[in-house]
Amino acid sequence: MTQTNRLDGGQIDRNTSLSFRFDGRNLTAHSGDTLASALLANDVRLIGRSFKYHRPRGLLTAGSEEPNGMVELRTGARKEPNTRATTIEMFDGLEAYSQNRWPSLKFDALAVNDMFSNFLSAGFYYKTFMWPAAFWEKLYEPIIRRAAGLGSLSMEADPDEYDKGFRHCDLLIIGAGPAGLMAALTAGRAGADVILADEDFALGGRLNSETFTVGDHSASDWATQAVAELSSMPNVCLMPRTTVIGAFDHGIYGAVERTGDHLATLPEGKPRQILWRIYTQKALLCAGATERPIAFENNDRPGIMMASALRTYANRFAVTASQRVAIFTNNDDGHRTAADLHAKGVRIAAVVDVREDAPSSYDYEVLKGAQVTNTKGRHGLSFVEVSLPDGSTRTLDCGALGVSGGWNPNVHLTCHQRGRPVWNEALAAFVPGGELPVGMSVAGAANGIMSTYGALQSGAEGAAKALDLTDALPDLPEAEDAPIAQTPFWYVQGCKRAWVDQQNDVTVKDVKLSYQEGFRSVEHLKRYTTLGMATDQGKTSNITGLAIMAEVAGKSIPEVGTTIFRPPYTPVPIATFAGRMKGQEFHPTRLTPSHFWAKERGAVFVEVGNWLRAQWFPQPGETHWRESVDREVRQTRASVGVCDCTTLGKIDVQGTDAAEFLNRIYANGFAKLAVGKTRYGLMLREDGMVMDDGTAARLAEDHFVVTTTTANAVSVYRHMEFVRQCLCPDMDVQLISTTEGWAQYAVAGPNARKLLQKIVDPEFDISNEAFPFMACGNVTVCGGLRARLFRISFSGELAYEIAVPSRYGDALMRRLMAEGEEFDVVPYGTEALGVMRVEKGHAAGSELNGTTTALNLGLGKMVSKKKDSIGSILSEREALVEPDGLRLVGIKPLEAENKITAGGHLMNADGPVDAAHDQGYVTSAVYSPILNSNIGLGLVKNGSERLGEKMRLVSPLTNLTVEVELVSAHFVDPEGERLRA
């Protein structure tokens, strides 16, 4: 027999039968159920084991505040631990498992923890596992991890997709209960752009859980009609299944929409969840209130639930937790549950009301001035013990006990900008107060307005006020408007183990102990006992903990203070924050113009920032990358090689003050650079360190093309705009990046000119005489295509860089390869590029490491003293111009085959090897196939004066010592004859 606890009525679709499995048992449910309601319908009360003591636990609530009813949902890679059964929308084929139990839910070996509870009290981590220290990592922690815990991870990658999105509105309404719906109707009818978000799949909030009427309709019918009207408004965006998780600066809200969690399988390409960033003019928090429990002896048995949850299960889901129910309350709301359940045919064992003056009922017994003192039942509640005002006790047979200790407004989002709630004595609860996030106001129960009519009214007024509406408010329907007075009753005196925070197994005693041991601030209490931590963040426990603390301290609750809340409101999968930015899409990928060609050639690619660059081009038969790289270097130096250098930043600098501007940003001078010439430029930071280097080609009096390193293209452009706008606001200079616009290839080697003469149209003379080293200009290629030619060299060879519009880059590369066949042309990648620049002694990223000056790099003379340039003044600081400072040198091992290690440090040939005697370090190391030796570049104290000196290169981490000699950094062609050939 299934669904034995199903009642009549409700808002489920009885025509749709869904099957699901819990711990391997096949069960059935209806569309409109949550996993929680379906489990109750099937008389499943025991759902999990508690965190610390492994006590049997069931559901406490019917909403997202649930501390206990957590399961592992789905299987395989999609398994999700710690999922609240109360928020899981039922679908056909759902599979869920109880967690934190072994070997089975009903018999859990670690339930033995419960017997040792005296040792596991507040702060047990800190007390028990203090020493010996070495035991922590190896012994204590693994045991605790296994014993205490929640669900387990699948250990597989999440196969689902997650999106991010952005929405804008005039008014964001958070929560679609009576206040939220009325606010949305008011704002929507006035024409405002409204977003109405609610975490539930059914909009209506508590209207769906109550039996009273709104206007002429049942509460849920009124909600349905309101939703229908809102759906018809183009200016209103309804977002069910959407939790607003945080209120951020300046009216920005984070929201998680669960677009796929209620589906058995996601359609291909559809996101499971969407993380929305909602930009609002105003926001109205209509988050309602959460019922709070009363703590008493053994109040954590499955079947003991919030009274309002029992009402929700009965009215909305047509389910009762048991056929015989008792109520324990300190307020009238508990009686509503009794009345509603009674009307549905559920036996009411009694209503236990702590108030002497509690209302009576003809339908069931009310025990006035009574308290629940204990409960019994191994895997679920079977009876409760009640003490009566005359001192006698009663035992009530019941399978469920509804507890109501009053209501706490859901103030969470009001705290996200450090707003502190204030204590409201009449409600005996915290209500929003202090400074709310900019643009936020609060309506309904979240603002302490507990009646339905009050919620409708404050929703309408809240919307009108937020939007400055001048029209009359819409007519409000008649609705329940009972006054609320709450006399707090936090816990039953004299109990030994009464749970305050069921999720973290924190008892009344733990809270008191914490105080006695000196953890008296609320924040300390939280951390010492773990009260209010983990997935529920204490939604049902924080205030009770605080109240007990206040009692022990002999203070009022507001004197003790309150913890405030931070985002997210409810747990969010990490994957939702990642969105699409994972794997290959973690960052955008930039492809060079020759990428598709290089891929065809079988190039091995390397990530350089976001760029993918060809690292080398393996040939058939080459088994080690060094073979490819050595060949590329040899062939380039012997004949000609081609390398895609598009990734270098290119910035167009124009204007009548362009030359003056370059004088400012570069340490060396540019004013006198002739049109048609290129110059190496050294850029300093204002603190005198080298920022970047590159070239500037003067294409006209008022037009330069500046290049930057690949890595610094973005930051150099930003810096140039800073100088232009903030330091030289009246210079006539205009900047724009052209990095992407031109496919630029280095053509290097003794045959570079011969190859280019076959490409560049014959009317352009690129002979050494007409187009010497450092020349530049516009040319045409291949019969008329506009192109730019620069005679610059990074490799130290006779070299050019040729640029064409990017769309022709692929074709130009193929043409260069075809025309270069007679010269045995070789494409080379970034490795060969790196080898050749080290051979030539050119500084690059490893040397421009943010700690080096021009002087360090042997470029000190480039820093002009005759003009105002960024960094020139501070580069003169004493410590930076010490004669004993670091200088760039070449490093060669005495034995050619001995490897040089970048990052290794240089020590004198004799003497101690320690930091105090450090002489410098290696910045770059490569194997030079030209010198048949490992070589490197390094920065050595006074290095330029120590060429020829033998030193020790050490790397203590890798236990390496290599004898090396300091040499000129220019290993190849020190006189520069090749590049001028």
Residues 813-852 that bind other proteins (CB under 8 A): 815
d(C-alpha 195, C-alpha 167), whole Å:
9
State the minimum distance, in angstroms, from the CB of residue 844 to other proteins: 21
Indicate which single residue of 422, 534, 575, 782 sits in contact with other proteins (rule: CB under 8 A): 782
User: Which distant-in-sequence residues (6+ apart) come within 8 Å of 860 by Cβ?
Assistant: 853, 854
Using the contact rule CB under 8 A, the part of the chain among 121-129, 628-636, 723-731, 824-832 near other proteins is: 723-731
Least Cβ distance, residue 286 to other proteins (angstroms): 23
CB of 264 to other proteins, least distance (A): 19
- Number of residues in the chain: 981
| Binding status of residue 250 toward other proteins by CB under 8 A | yes
Rule CB under 8 A: choose which of 149, 558, 573, 655 binds other proteins.
655
Among 106, 127, 146, 168, binds other proteins (CB under 8 A): 168
Q: At its nearest, how many Å lie between other proteins and the CB of residue 68?
A: 35
Binding of other proteins by 164 (CB under 8 A): yes
Task: Verify binding: residue 578, other proteins, rule CB under 8 A.
Answer: no
Can you name the residues that pair with 384 across neighbouring β-strands? 375, 396
The correct pick among 251, 377, 568, 890 for binding other proteins (CB under 8 A) is: 251
Residue 587 touching other proteins (CB under 8 A): yes
Least separation in angstroms between residue 879's CB and other proteins is 12
Angle at 696 between CA 693 and CA 702, to 5 degrees: 145
For other proteins, the binding residue among 699, 838, 863, 888 (CB under 8 A) is 699
Which lies closer to other proteins via its Cβ, residue 160 or residue 480? 160
List the one residue from 136, 150, 154, 167 that touches other proteins (CB under 8 A). 167
Interhelix angle 830-840/625-638, nearest 10 degrees: 60
Euclidean distance between CA atoms 462 and 444, whole angstroms = 9
Question: Which of these segments, 93-101, 157-165, 514-522, 923-931, binds other proteins (CB under 8 A)?
Answer: 157-165
580 binds other proteins (CB under 8 A): yes
Is residue 881 near other proteins by the rule CB under 8 A? no
- Minimum distance, C-beta of residue 185 to other proteins, in the bound complex (Å): 20
Task: Using CA atoms of 846, 848, 849, 853 in order, give the dihedral in degrees to the nearest 10.
Answer: 140
Residues 256-275 that bind other proteins (CB under 8 A): 268-271, 274
Among the listed ranges 219-227, 337-345, 740-748, 911-919, the one in contact with other proteins (CB under 8 A) is: 740-748
Largest CA distance in the chain: 117
The 3-state DSSP class for residue 133 equals coil
Question: Is residue 786 at the binding interface for other proteins, with CB under 8 A as the rule?
Answer: yes
List phi, psi (to 5°) of 292. -110, 150
Which residues are registered as beta bridge partners of 606?
613
810 binds other proteins (CB under 8 A): yes
Q: Which stretch binds other proteins (CB under 8 A): 74-82, 478-486, 518-526, 728-736?
A: 728-736
Note whether 657 binds other proteins by CB under 8 A.
Answer: yes
CA distance 431 to 420: 9
Q: 407 pairs with which residues across the strands? A: 291
728 interacts with other proteins by CB under 8 A = yes
List C-alpha distances in Å: 80 to 105, 201, 586, 669, 922: 18, 19, 23, 63, 49
130 in contact with other proteins (CB under 8 A)? no
Q: Does 638 engage in binding with other proteins (CB under 8 A)?
A: no
**165 is an interface residue for other proteins by CB under 8 A:** yes
CA distance 619 to 635: 13
Among the listed residues 741, 750, 845, 860, the single contact to other proteins using CB under 8 A: 741
For the CB of residue 838, give the shortest distance to other proteins in the complex, in Å.
27
Residues in the interface with other proteins (CB under 8 A) total 107
Nearer to other proteins, 457 or 744 (CB): 744
Q: Which residue in 160, 652, 819, 949 binds other proteins (CB under 8 A)?
A: 652
Q: Which of 106-114, 485-493, 785-793, 937-945 is the region at the interface with other proteins (rule: CB under 8 A)?
A: 785-793
Cβ atoms of residues 891 and 970 within 8 Å: no
Amino acid at 81: P
Long-range contacts of 260-267 (CB under 8 A, 24+ apart): 260/160, 261/88, 261/89, 262/89, 262/90, 262/91, 262/201, 263/91, 264/91, 264/92, 264/93, 264/94, 266/160, 266/161
Distance of CA 927 to the CA centre of its chain: 42
Window 605-634: residues binding other proteins (CB under 8 A): 610-611
Q: Does 588 bind other proteins (CB under 8 A)?
A: yes
- Quote the CA–CA distance of 566 and 578 in Å, as a whole number: 20
Per CB under 8 A, the segment of 335-343, 351-359, 627-635, 721-729 that binds other proteins is 721-729
Residue ranges in 308-367 that form contacts with other proteins under rule CB under 8 A: none
Write the CB contacts of 41 (distance below 8 Å, at least 6 apart in sequence). 2, 3, 4, 5, 6, 29, 33, 317, 319
Q: Which 884-913 residues touch other proteins, going by CB under 8 A?
A: none
Among 77, 485, 581, 913, binds other proteins (CB under 8 A): 581
685/693 Cα distance (integer angstroms): 11
Phi, psi of 497 (to 5 degrees): -135, 95
Shorter beta-carbon distance to other proteins: residue 501 or 810 = 810
Please give the full DSSP string across 91-122, using - where no structure is assigned: -TTEEEEE-S-SB-SSSBGGGGGGGGGGGGST
For residues 925 and 935, the answer to whether their CB atoms sit within 8 Å is yes
Which of 727, 881, 909, 913 is in the footprint of other proteins by CB under 8 A? Answer: 727
Shortest distance (Å) from residue 703 CB to other proteins: 8
Residue 687 binding other proteins, by CB under 8 A = yes
Q: How far is the CB of 762 from other proteins (least distance, A)?
A: 12
DSSP state of 556: -
Nearest residue to 709 (alpha-carbon basis) of 875, 834, 876 = 834
Asked if residue 591 binds other proteins (CB under 8 A), the reply is: yes
Site for other proteins (CB under 8 A): which residue of 497, 677, 679, 887? 677
Smallest gap from Cβ 564 to other proteins, in A, equals 16
Pick out residues in 747-776 that bind other proteins (CB under 8 A).
763-766, 769-772, 775-776
Positions 433 through 472 that interact with other proteins (CB under 8 A): 438
- Rounded (10°) CA dihedral 969, 975, 976, 981: -150
Closer to other proteins at the Cβ: 426 or 700? Answer: 700
Q: CA 306: distance to chain centroid? A: 34
Instruction: Return the number of the residue (878 or 884) whose C-beta is nearest other proteins.
Output: 878
In whole angstroms, how close is the CB of 663 to other proteins at the nearest point?
12
Residue 738 touches other proteins, criterion: CB under 8 A: yes
Let me know the angle formed at the C-alpha of 846 by 842 and 848, rounded to the nearest 5 degrees: 75
Site for other proteins in 182-221 (CB under 8 A): 193
User: Is-contact 526 123, C-beta < 8 A?
Assistant: no
Q: According to the binding rule CB under 8 A, does residue 279 interact with other proteins? A: yes
Q: Which residue of 729, 762, 883, 948 would you call a contact of other proteins, by CB under 8 A?
A: 729
What are the E-state strand segments in 832-919?
A: 886-893, 905-908
| Range in contact with other proteins (rule: CB under 8 A) among 123-131, 180-188, 246-254, 922-930 | 246-254
Interacting stretch for other proteins, rule CB under 8 A, among 338-346, 866-874, 893-901, 973-981? 866-874
Q: Which residues, including other chains, have CB under 8 Å from residue 281's CB and lie 6 or more apart?
A: 169, 170, 171, 251, 439
Q: How far apart are CA 817 and CA 758, in angstroms?
A: 11
Q: For tokens 């500037």, what's the residue?
A: 696
